[in-house]
Structure 1
Amino acid sequence: MAPAATTKKKKKTMASAATTKKKAKAMAPAATTRKKTKAMAPAAQEDWFIMYGIPKVSDEMSKELPNASFTFNEVPLLSHLTVPSNVATPAGSVDYPYIAATDDCGLLLLCGYTAVGLTYYVCDPYFRRTLGVLPPDGGFSSRHSVGLIRNRLGSGIMVAKLNTGLFNTQARRITLSCTRDLCEWDNKEADCGHICKETKPWCCDGVLSHKGFLWWFDLSSCILACDPFLDTPPFYQIMFPHVPDPLRAAWFPVQGDKYRCLKVSKGRLRYVQIHGEPPLVSMWTLSSNNPSDAAWELKLKVHLPDIWSHRTYKSSMLPEVVPTVALVHPMNANRAYFFLGHHIFCVNLKKKKLRQCLELNNQELPALSSLVVHSWNLPAGTTKIHLSGSDKSHVPGVHFLGHYDSVDGFLEKALAVMSRSCPELFGMGLDELEEDEDQSVTMDESDEGDDSEME
């Protein structure tokens, strides 16, 4: 009996082992799939916000740091910066404080009027403080011609100002004023040998920092791009596409061009324009991030009546009126944002479908356009983080934040410097800009299926 029992037990053990092996073999593909899925999991996405370009100015004067606060709102609501009145004077319809540029690590370049005239600040959302940058000259220089750029190593930051008053297409002469350690300025004569097309008198609408270049643009004419870190930076000229029947609207100092915008999306410059009859939205992509060999490629062309007739637009109750172009989604180039009356809405241009529509209480706001909103990206994992300690390693290049103990200390030094170089200072006397509020969502419909992103 014993041998038979042993044999039976051995067979049972072997059968169990075979079954286990069979199960393991059957489960192997699933385990491999899980392993691959885990390995291919996407990295944490950057968070982004639509930053309203005109900050709120509080009545208080900040003597200590931090001295900047942020109101974060989910896209497409507008997010806001608030600074004390000694950083920037509350403004009227022309001389308003203005966020001129953003940095790929979240820094903001703020222009505001003080006792020394137009003053620049680098605003750091991580430490909630502003660093004053001594202006190259006094007076009311064009705030739209100044940009913020980080060097290719990420270790240094520069403020660069295009001196548009010296831009002459016939003489082809451009000069730049560039900061050195954000304390002193160098004037650089640019190499204009690559500027070959004459344009109308230059009117700078803004500047983007992208892939090691500053891209100044006049939406009615062209882009002028250069690397300001070079000793004699060569400028490259890229004309905007010519379209039939462009729409024209009255130009205002705050609003600027209503029907055109230049933004960065999916790592490329995107140009959007509403034109034609019936009106259509066209989007071009710059073929290269090197301005020396870049050209425009038409990627999308959508008639507005096709968007108006879609059930999602009809359900929003928006009127069939030509809107103002706001910006392009920084991670999905198919999605564009528009202003219309008190509303901001997002359209998937490829599907001709309205995705979101929100109401803004913008009765106190200046007229809205692409010039007063920024796609503000914060690096992955740093959303809404406001550090207050002394560790400055989170943002490369912010070691300069200790130059001044307070805004007043900066202004005192700036006033002493400016009084020697520019004795006639400008008075302020500016009207106060009322605060604005955003209202809740009125309609938000998700896309059916995944968006296929544009390359």
Structure 2
Amino acid sequence: MAPAAEEWFILYGVPKVVAMEETIFQESTNVSFTFNKAPLPSHVTVADDALIRTGFFNYPYIAAAARCGILLLCGHSKIGFTYYLCDPLIRRTLGIVPPGGDDDVSCRYCVGLISDRSDTHLMVAELNPSSLAEHGRVTLRCTVDMCSWVDKESAECSNIVERREWRGDGVLTHKFFLWWFDLSYCILACDPFADKPRFHQIMFPSVPDAAPFYPNPIYGDVYRCLKVSNGRLRYVQIHGTSPEKMEVSMWTLSSNDPADAKWTNRVDVPFERIWDDPSYRSKGLPPQVVPAVVLVHPMRASEVYFCLPTHIFSVNLNEKKTVDCEEFSVQVPPHKICSSRLVHAWRLPVGYTKQSGPGLSRVMECQFVNRWSSVEDFHTKAEMIIRSRPKPHDDWGLEDIDEDRYDSDTSMTEEI
């Protein structure tokens, strides 16, 4: 028998936050998932008792879509900047006690989610690049138990040669490494489970006719994209001096070991070839309009997804043909534009079957695991844990809390 097909979705990275009274959520339910067949994006809805609608700049967002299907959801709540792990397979959510002391992470798009090599534990890891430009060093703040945090100040950074201010466009999880990236600069990769993580720097390819970096810090760059496809990291860049000379290029990282990885197998396709093909014209898409590049198909590396103000479509770069196209407009902040920063390829494990019926979306709700009985319970107990953490010159901490009150028979990490 042929192996079961792996299911995947295009996930829009900004959830809808709705008032509890406007939802059909049951008690202790805080997240729902709506699945749509690609290229239509799927999306997440969050009740406003879990995350706050904080406006255009500080919107909540999905920082990571792990290989096991779990999402890392970030945003402001009543206890500050907060993380949640959301698993649509077991329909459960786990609130992560935030580090406390900071109103936000040091770099908004510098948090990743990764499982260890035995797939028994998850880690959330924040990169702190504040000393990168001056000293060529970065540090990590990590949590495995989802209550306490550890600072790995002794990370090995001798491989970071080119120093520059870090802007941060996201982080990918691939082959037991976290790959932080700044599309205007480089990739920084490491294994955060190591006692002393070693960082590796991979500079992005350069072209003489590169388009300027998109200046908006909210959307990120619209002409560059880094994603995982067919077992390798792929970098896509749109470049050219004028619309009629614009082209899209793709590079492949030669190895999944960041210590021995180079960009190779460059593919160049002029947009004129795409616009002139009947497969593009038949979709009613406008010619001579350069789109944003948002995604690479996770299994077919030659297929790249682009976004226009009212459409999302994919192109087979080898054949120069438009494959799929759907009308799509972003309705939640940051609206009006889409970029690779705001789009994930969400691959779910084999066996997660699709509901029957063509074109049907699926809505699935999640409740908290037993550690917290509700959103309010999580916030209350998280505040207690944060207050109990050692302050400078304090000699008391988590041991003074009755930990049995926060333990459960069913933990998120044990169910993965």
| Superposition TM-score tier, normalisation by shorter sequence | 0.7 to 0.9
In 2 relative to 1, CA 272–250 (structure 1 residues): closer, same or farther, beyond 3 Å?
Answer: closer
Counterpart in the other structure of 1:79: 42
**3-state SS in 2 of match to 1:322:** coil
**3-state SS in 2 of match to 1:292:** helix
Counterpart in the other structure of 1:94: 57
Shift in Å, 1:51: 0.6
Counterpart among 308, 324, 330 of residue 298 in structure 2: 330
1:272-283 equivalent positions in 2, closer than 5 A: 272-277=236-241, 278-283=245-250
Shift in Å, 1:363: 5.2
> Whose radius of gyration is greater, 1 or 2?
1
Shift in Å, 1:129: 3.0
8 Å contact from structure 2 (residues 178, 190) kept in 1: yes
Q: Distance in 2 between matches of 1:186 and 1:156?
A: 15
Counterpart among 252, 269, 282 of residue 216 in structure 2: 252
Amino-acid identity (%): 51
Shift in Å, 1:255: 1.1
Counterpart among 135, 146, 154 of residue 171 in structure 1: 135
Shift in Å, 1:324: 0.1
- Over residues 221-243 of structure 1, what are the superposed CA-to-partner deviations in whole Å (9 max), with x where a residue is unaligned? 00000000011100000000011
**3-state SS in 2 of match to 1:327:** strand
**3-state SS in 2 of match to 1:377:** strand
Counterpart in the other structure of 2:329: 361
Q: Distance in 2 between matches of 1:389 and 1:370?
A: 26
Counterpart in the other structure of 2:158: 193
Is 1:154 the equivalent of 2:125?
no
Counterpart in the other structure of 1:22: none
Q: Distance in 2 between matches of 1:117 and 1:244?
A: 44
8 Å contact from structure 1 (residues 66, 127) kept in 2: no
Q: Which amino acid aligns with 2:137?
A: R
Q: Which amino acid aligns with 1:55?
A: P
Q: Distance in 2 between matches of 1:172 and 1:361?
A: 41
Q: How many residues align?
A: 372
Q: Distance in 1 between matches of 2:390 and 2:46?
A: 26
Q: Distance in 2 between matches of 1:43 and 1:404?
A: 38
1:49-448 equivalent positions in 2, closer than 5 A: 49-60=9-20, 64-137=27-100, 138-141=102-105, 142-165=107-130, 167-189=131-153, 190-198=155-163, 200-248=164-212, 250-277=214-241, 278-319=245-286, 320-362=288-330, 366=335, 367-383=337-353, 401-419=369-387
Q: Which amino acid aligns with 1:361?
A: S
Structure 1 unmatched ranges of 5 or more? 1-40, 391-399, 424-455
Shift in Å, 1:299: 3.1
Q: Distance in 2 between matches of 1:101 and 1:314?
A: 35
8 Å contact from structure 1 (residues 284, 298) kept in 2: yes
Q: Which amino acid aligns with 1:238?
A: I
Taking structure 1 as the reference length, what is the TM-score of the superposition? 0.78
Q: Distance in 2 between matches of 1:360 and 1:54?
A: 15
**3-state SS in 2 of match to 1:415:** helix
Shift in Å, 1:250: 4.0
- Over residues 141-170 of structure 1, what are the superposed CA-to-partner deviations in whole Å (9 max), with x where a residue is unaligned? 2331000000000000000000122x3244
In 2 relative to 1, CA 389–226 (structure 1 residues): closer, same or farther, beyond 3 Å?
Answer: closer
Q: Which amino acid aligns with 1:161?
A: E
Shift in Å, 1:172: 2.2
Q: Distance in 1 between matches of 2:71 and 2:149?
A: 19
Q: Which amino acid aligns with 1:85?
A: D
- Over residues 246-284 of structure 1, what are the superposed CA-to-partner deviations in whole Å (9 max), with x where a residue is unaligned? 112542233110000000000100000001231110000
Shift in Å, 1:42: 2.8
Q: Which has the higher contact order (CA 8 A, sep 6+)?
A: 2
Shift in Å, 1:173: 1.9
Higher helix content, 1 or 2: 1
- Over residues 100-157 of structure 1, what are the superposed CA-to-partner deviations in whole Å (9 max), with x where a residue is unaligned? 0011110000001012221011111123332111111330223310000000000000
Q: Distance in 2 between matches of 1:253 and 1:135?
A: 24
- Over residues 75-108 of structure 1, what are the superposed CA-to-partner deviations in whole Å (9 max), with x where a residue is unaligned? 0001011121111112311111100001111000
Q: Distance in 2 between matches of 1:364 and 1:207?
A: 22
RMSD over aligned CA atoms reads 2.3
Taking structure 2 as the reference length, what is the TM-score of the superposition? 0.85
Shift in Å, 1:419: 4.9
Counterpart in the other structure of 1:6: none
**3-state SS in 2 of match to 1:316:** coil
Counterpart in the other structure of 2:400: none
Q: Distance in 2 between matches of 1:101 and 1:388?
A: 19
**3-state SS in 2 of match to 1:308:** helix
8 Å contact from structure 2 (residues 108, 168) kept in 1: no
Shift in Å, 1:361: 3.5
In 2 relative to 1, CA 409–389 (structure 1 residues): closer, same or farther, beyond 3 Å?
Answer: closer
8 Å contact from structure 1 (residues 68, 128) kept in 2: no
Q: Which amino acid aligns with 2:135?
A: A
Q: Distance in 1 between matches of 2:137 and 2:318?
A: 42
**3-state SS in 2 of match to 1:158:** strand
Q: Distance in 2 between matches of 1:343 and 1:257?
A: 18
Deviates more, 1:405-414 or 1:357-366: 357-366
Q: Distance in 2 between matches of 1:420 and 1:90?
A: 28
In 2 relative to 1, CA 264–85 (structure 1 residues): closer, same or farther, beyond 3 Å?
Answer: same
Shift in Å, 1:66: 3.7
Shift in Å, 1:364: 5.0
Q: Which amino acid aligns with 1:132?
A: G
